Amino acid sequence: MSRAVLSLGSNLGDRLSYLRLAVEGLSDVLVAVSPVYETAPWGVTDQPDFLNAIVLAESPDLDEWDWLRRAQALEQRAERVREQRWGPRTLDVDVVTVDEVRSTHPDLLLPHPGTPSRATVLIPWLAIDPNATLPDHGQVTDLLKALPASDLNDVHRRDDLTLR
């Protein structure tokens, strides 16, 4: 059995519909879906705010490369265009972790390298897996405690929006 943590984000068009497209596309392997959070962009900050969520998924038939292909297929269904790194997007699906797999392949870095410093990933992840551990980094709760308060304050739970 392979267990993946996938991060979803959207800041163009009907953001919630794009997140729902991803959840629907993973329905056959879905274990849990976090609440939806709204966050300010980082990296390139002159763009719309993001909606973010985390999903946990399992399959006996998928390895880390299969999870990446599933993520990329969902982005293609959302007609994502990659024009600018960290730029606006209809849908971003990142493979955060797959079991305890480590990968330094440039096409699939595992665990996802930005995870330890991203409240936009850590907060939703903890909402559905309070005992989450990021390989090579430790407990997600500890990673979250190490972040500046300003990072935490930029992540707003949207209880008025649901993915299922």
Is 89 known to be catalytic?
Answer: yes
Is 82 known to be catalytic?
Answer: no
Q: Which of 15, 20, 70, 89 is catalytic?
A: 89
Q: Which of 20, 94, 118, 151 is catalytic?
A: 94
Q: Which of 92, 118, 129, 159 is catalytic?
A: 92
Strands (E) located in the chain: 2-10, 30-33, 37-39, 50-59, 92-98, 103-105, 108-110, 133-134, 138-139, 155-157
Q: Which of 80, 107, 157, 159 is catalytic?
A: 80
- 17 vs 20: CA distance, rounded Å: 5
Is 92 known to be catalytic?
Answer: yes
Which sequence positions are flagged as catalytic? 80, 89, 92, 94
